[in-house]
Chain A
Amino acid sequence: MTEVERHGFDVVVVGAGGAGLRAAIEAREHGKRTAIICKSLFGKAHTVMAEGGIAASMGNVNDQDNWQVHFRDTMRGGKFLNHWRMAELHAKEAPERVWELETWGALFDRTKDGKISQRNFGGHEYPRLAHVGDRTGLELIRTLQQKVVSLQQEDFREHGDYEARIKVFQEYTVTRVLKDGDRVSGVFGYQRESGRFFVIEAPAVVLATGGIGKSFKVTSNSWEYTGDGHALALLAGASLINMEFVQFHPTGMVWPPSVKGILVTESVRGDGGVLRNSDGKRFMFEYIPDVFREKYAETEEEGDRWYQDQANNRRPPELLPRDEVARAINSEVKAGRGTPHGGVFLDVSTRLPAEEIRRRLPSMHHQFKELADVDITAEPMEVGPTCHYVMGGVEVDPDTASSCVPGLFAAGEVAGGMHGSNRLGGNSLSDLLVFGRRAGLHAAQYAEAAQEDRPLVEQEQIDAAAEEALAPFSAEGGENPYGLHQELQQSMNDLVGIIRREGEMEEALQRLAVLRERAVNAGVEGHRQFNPGWHLALDLRNMLLVSECVARAALEREESRGGHTREDHPTMAAEWRRVLLACSLADKPVPGEGAIVLQRKANPAIREDLLGLFGVDELKKYLTEDELPGAEADLPPQRADTDAEKKSENGAEH
């Protein structure tokens, strides 16, 4: 029998980024004893890296803004593949979620009349991103962290114990979600410091583990992004949707090699920065796709005027959604018009006074000075695409954030649906808050209902999980996990990257199958105490599962849309918009074959009043004939808004 440290809680939140902390705060405020688990130190989650801002239609800078406009922009950005209900809830609730942060001590940059300032960003019609210079994520995480601390202080006053109702388990890594029959019963994992195992029993588990970028070689993502939550969900019996959609941010650093991939925030462009190729040409004017033509400037002069006068000019094409800009940069470099280090130039030095650049973009100034020895107030930056965000994730009910496994919830980057095929900048931080809160709320309600009949943790599952986790120590002469990881990253980068081809993805799947075999024998040296080699060996399981989902879904989807570009199927097909690709774990994985099975599901039809927010001409670009308004006869029955407000079982079915 395995020795484990044991705890019991009502709600366990796996992840202490924006989504996890917001969920935990909500669950605790509903009186539930809540545990927060994170693999790094408290306050270091990936959210800390977010720069540009939080999207919310507060209308502080342009009072034309409202939730309908935000909803429209989000759907357009995601090429209408988004779950309409998530996009709707997100647009409606984001302002409240941002304002609430101020009551917890957040200090956003201000407008002249003392409100929260909002900045322009790609794909957003009006200035919409609440921000703090270019360190918005830090402000978000610190505010939520400090809110957790304030709840702990409250508990200390009432119970003499800071951790009476909310406790943070930092540097704890979850490797399995445990189940009692169909229901979730808790989590199993190891403590990083000692290597000892732990079990937390709880009827409700919220996954808020973030993304998967560490499966790719060039990425803006941090150490934590090994797709753990995605894999935990699969292993627990949930399904993932939209995994083929991976966002490559157009502007990552390209030099020096060791920092390749580190993000250059989109605010550089929002604040006036322009993209040029090696001929000095602002090439983005050549790449405005038809669906966006009316919204973007045709000349440099018009684009430049827009920064001063947005009512009478159209925005410059540097601010197209990310997928468009990333592909354009890719094409320029391929055509031989790239910079010495294989990127393009991003220049703000000739566009704003040095003082202004330092004030508006302090971290970028610092980052380039420190890491590349480039002074962005005097010279252009070199940038190129970098793997940034995964749109795909756990298939959830839009209102409750519940997966199809009872008691298992997901929110934040690990959840799928909200962003469709492409996420707009700034829409993630708002997503974290809106759906983090909803996940916390519904997990608390679920836990309340389960009080009478709490699920039990079976010893058998603990033993199996422990055995799995210890395997790397017994692999004799096992392979170096670092080497395996590098091979995986190279394969994904080369074969399932920004531009995809059928043959390459087939090869990727073969390589993944081989890597999975080899990973079983990944071996580690030393002991269990804070051993990064061991941790990586365990993370490999997750990265391989998630990578297979990406490759398999990308191979299946024969069209190009948002964060999925097929060279062999270059156009967007309205028929494919109706299809969601759902990944789940194969019953009995055959060695050498896939561990994942793919299933086609219908993308739920958009509610009619929401369709009414768009012109028919625009809808024609995305929808099939029989989906267009006026063709009601063929539409499936719609839910009324009030109806949808009710707690629904599981989004997987509608």
Chain B
Amino acid sequence: MSYEATFRVWRGDAEGGELTDFQVEVNDGEVVLDVVHRIQATQAPDLAVRWNCKAGKCGSCSAEINGRPRLMCMTRMSTLPPDETVTITPMRTFPVLRDLVTDVGFNYQKAREIPSFIPPQGVKPGEYRMQQEDVNRSQEFRKCIECFLCQNTCHVVRDHEENKPAFAGPRFLMRVAELDMHPLDAAADSGLDRKATAQEEHGLGYCNITKCCTEVCPEGIKITDNALIPLKERAVDRKYDPLVWLGSKIGLRRG
């Protein structure tokens, strides 16, 4: 079964641009990215779009489809009404480079600011022992395909350029949580308090747990409930627990 659809695609660059209409064929079982590719192959060979795997695994093809942040390769045409125009725009939070392609450099910069995994002293390669139930939590966060849809959606930065320097965004706050929950991460032994840095350096305080990030995550990661809220609870814990506060001031570690 085929039908003719109207696609309205944003075209332009940093200077500006506009929505352009395309009449294009749609076939049974296709996803939005297939249709964008057809436009490229038949009508606009220079239409810029990022994609790699076309299987929802690489997180390259993020865009906004009828205003909703989504992966183009995982949005089936059959989920959109056939008689309505499909509007595709680039992610709004990041500067446009061309057409549907944005500059996602913000995310790579934030990734660098999160201190890496610290291996435990004295445990040799091959001697790491961890129970499955202890790695489950961090493994959930490591399902992240870095599509940056959550970063794009979070209202803290979506229309607030000024918050960008101070706020790592859900994906990278989740990275802090992931390392904090890693059973063998030795940050504490080296004097690094990951929870404290989430609050003090990565802007956890800006998050008011609206869960918009969780809603758009194509991997279904419960970013807010499983990463951000626990991180907040512990940060709060630490902040208001006078003993902990004292401990951190005089260099004691929490047992």
Q: List residues of A whose CB falls within 8 A of some B CB.
A: 40-44, 46, 48-49, 58, 95-96, 99-100, 102-105, 107, 109-110, 113-115, 117, 132-133, 135, 137-139, 142, 146-147, 149-150, 152-153, 156, 162, 193, 222-224, 255-259, 262-263, 363, 366-367, 370-372, 480-483, 486, 524-527, 529-534
Contact = CB atoms under 8 A, between A and B. Distances in A.
Given A258-B30, A371-B74, A530-B99, A110 B132 contact: yes
Contacts of B58: 40, 44, 48-49, 222
Interface in B105-144: 108, 111-112, 115-117, 119, 125-126, 128-132, 135, 138-139, 142-144
Contacts of B30: 256, 258
B45 A150 contact: no
A532 B142 contact: no
B40 interface: yes
Interface stretch (B49-57, B150-158, B159-167, B236-244): B49-57
Interface of B: 13, 27-31, 34, 40-42, 45-60, 74, 76, 97-99, 101, 103-104, 108, 111-112, 115-117, 119, 125-126, 128-132, 135, 138-139, 142-146, 179, 182, 185
A138 B145 contact: yes
Contact of B46 (A58, A149, A224, A524): A524
Residue from A114, A363, A524 with most neighbouring chain B CB atoms (10 Å): A114
Nearest to A220: B55
A529 B115 CA distance: 35
B13 A529 contact: yes
A486 B42 CA distance: 12
A48 B53 contact: yes
B49 A223 contact: no
Contacts of A105: 116-117, 119, 179, 182, 185
A57 to B, nearest CB: 13
Contact of A371 (B27, B31, B48): B31
A288 to B, nearest CB: 32
A96 B46 contact: no
Nearest to A259: B29
29 contacts: A41-B104, A42-B108, A48-B57, A99-B128, A102-B125, A103-B125, A104-B119, A110-B131, A135-B57, A135-B143, A137-B57, A138-B57, A146-B117, A149-B116, A150-B117, A193-B101, A223-B51, A256-B29, A258-B30, A258-B34, A259-B54, A366-B56, A482-B40, A527-B46, A529-B48, A530-B101, A532-B46, A532-B49, A533-B46
Given A49-B53, A96-B125, A224-B52, A40 B117 contact: no
Given A41-B50, A44-B60, A530-B99, 9 more contacts: A110-B132, A138-B142, A222-B58, A257-B29, A262-B54, A482-B40, A530-B98, A532-B40, A532-B45
Contacts of B139: 107, 109, 132-133
B76 A371 contact: yes
Nearest to A256: B29
Contacts of A363: 57
Contacts of B132: 109-110, 117
B142 A139 contact: yes
Q: Which 8 residue pairs are nearest across A and B when measured between Cβ atoms?
A: A256-B29, A526-B46, A533-B45, A105-B117, A150-B116, A114-B129, A99-B125, A482-B41
Given A110-B132, A262-B55, A532-B45, A99 B126 contact: yes
Contacts of B51: 223
| Interface of B: prevailing SS | loop
A525 B55 contact: no
A102 B128 CA distance: 7
A104 B56 contact: no
A367 B130 contact: no
Residue from A40, A42, A147, A532 with most neighbouring chain B CB atoms (10 Å): A532
Given A41-B60, A150-B116, A525-B45, A533 B40 contact: yes
Given A100-B125, A258-B31, A107 B135 contact: yes
Given A150-B116, A256-B30, A367-B55, A531 B48 contact: yes
Contacts of B48: 529-532
Contact of A256 (B28, B46, B53, B117): B28
Contacts of A371: 29, 31, 55, 74, 76
Nearest to A481: B45
B142 to A, nearest CB: 6
A538 B98 CA distance: 20
A265 B179 CA distance: 29
A95 B126 contact: yes
B25 to A, nearest CB: 12
Contact of A153 (B50, B55, B116): B116
